[in-house]
Amino acid sequence: MKISKAKIREKGYELGLDLVGFANIERFKNAPVEMHPASIFPEAKTVIVVGKRILRGGWRGIEEGTNWISYTYFDYHGLLNTLFIPEPLYHLACFIEDHGYEAVPYYPGVPEAKLEGIPYRENQVAPDVHLAIRIVAVCAGLGEIGWSKVFLTKKFGPRQRLHAIITDLELEPDELSQPGSICTRCMRCVEGCPSKAIPHIKENKKIQIKIDDKVYEWADIHTGRCTLSYHGADSRVSPFIHKDFPGWNIDASKQDFSEEAAYKFCWTLSTSTWRKTNQFPSGYIIEGHRMLQKWGEGGSYGICGSRGCMRSCFDWLEKIGKIEQIFKSGRFIKRKRWLLSHRVKSK
Ligand code: SF4
Ligand code: SF4
């Protein structure tokens, strides 16, 4: 039984999703095989990208410098990525299969931590295939990638997380967003980024892709520096390092780690244990980070809380009326912003 795009979208909204967009498989003709939806499902005809907003209030505690757990727990890995989106996505996939079409639910894990196997058939791509979910969302017409490399929509700006369904149901794709229709190249993301991970447009470091007849481009981010700030090795944005590392003098904005090396460094510091001493009785290397990871359902945790690439960005896009969801209380950034010194006082 054929099922329409309108019915799937309506069902998605009814289930609690905020965004539902459609890409036909032809839009992936330039995608490498290890990131191609048809490498997961060779009969794929359509990729449906779904998303749910990150609450603006989810960041309030980090913006004020007083509460970190709410963001990690509700709006990052804790529930949004592992329950609030996957549950309606799963029901939507069931709805499609009830109409006789196969629906592959796709979880946008951490591509850099992918499983590495060998191809089990000649000319077969090796596991684990991962989609570039932001590019897939562009293919599905949901928005564009901003200068910050964060995916932007007209509804929420940078405030959403995304998953996808790959199906053999053939549907008309949604219209692609016009490049530059949301991102104003204001560079507030660059100014707000603590570790200088986003190059200024004047540096001309950028990535470019073409989908159908449209060219999209964004900054070539220093992902190692971003990871240092995001996952807990930047004392400018972590009061917890200031508690547990007297004498720390590492300036994350001057490091040149690869993304993988940065993950290794951050996760070791943030989640491992150390002997209990009088000076550090918790038994953790950085207790605050460990507790966040633990309370965030044992998955990932956010320390920087996207200070520049999301918070500065939506504060600006809301102000100039570029995005639909605005708030009665006015701008998100209401007070002088805090940033600690990268140097931690010795005790
Ligand atoms: S802050 Fe947002 S709108 Fe401004 S340049 Fe960065 S991504 Fe674009
Ligand atoms: S997450 Fe933080 S460190 Fe990374 S780009 Fe955004 S503002 Fe910069």
- Going from the Cα of 150 to the center of ligand 1, the distance in angstroms, rounded, reads 9
| Cβ 195 under 6 angstroms from ligand 2 | yes
**What pLDDT shows up at residue 118?**
85
Mean residue pLDDT across the chain: 95
**What pLDDT shows up at residue 105?**
98
- Going from the Cα of 131 to the center of ligand 2, the distance in angstroms, rounded, reads 21
Which ligand has an atom closest to residue 159 CA? Answer: 1
Integer angstrom CA distances of residue 67 from 79, 132, 177: 17, 31, 36
pLDDT tens for each residue of 141-176: 999 999 999 999 999 999 999 999 999 999 999 999
Residue nearest atom 5 of ligand 1, based on CA coordinates:
185
Q: Residue 272: which of 286, 256, 262, 254 has the closest Cα?
A: 286
pLDDT at 112 over 70: no
pLDDT at 338 over 80: yes
pLDDT tens for each residue of 189-239: 999 999 999 999 999 999 999 999 999 999 999 999 999 999 999 999 999
Cα angle 133-137-141, degrees, rounded to a multiple of 5: 170
pLDDT tens for each residue of 304-315: 999 999 999 999
* pTM assigned to the model: 0.96
Report the alpha-carbon distance of residue 213 to residue 174 in Å, rounded. Answer: 14
Asked if residues 115 and 177 have their Cβ atoms less than 8 Å apart, the reply is no
**What pLDDT shows up at residue 53?**
98
pLDDT at 331 over 70: yes
**What pLDDT shows up at residue 113?**
63
Residue nearest atom 1 of ligand 2, based on CA coordinates:
306
Ligand 1 atom closest to the Cα of residue 308 is 1
Q: Residue 23: which of 99, 133, 100 has the closest Cα?
A: 133
Torsion of CA 30, 86, 180, 58, to 10 degrees: -150
pLDDT band at 295 (very low <50, low <70, confident <90, very high): confident
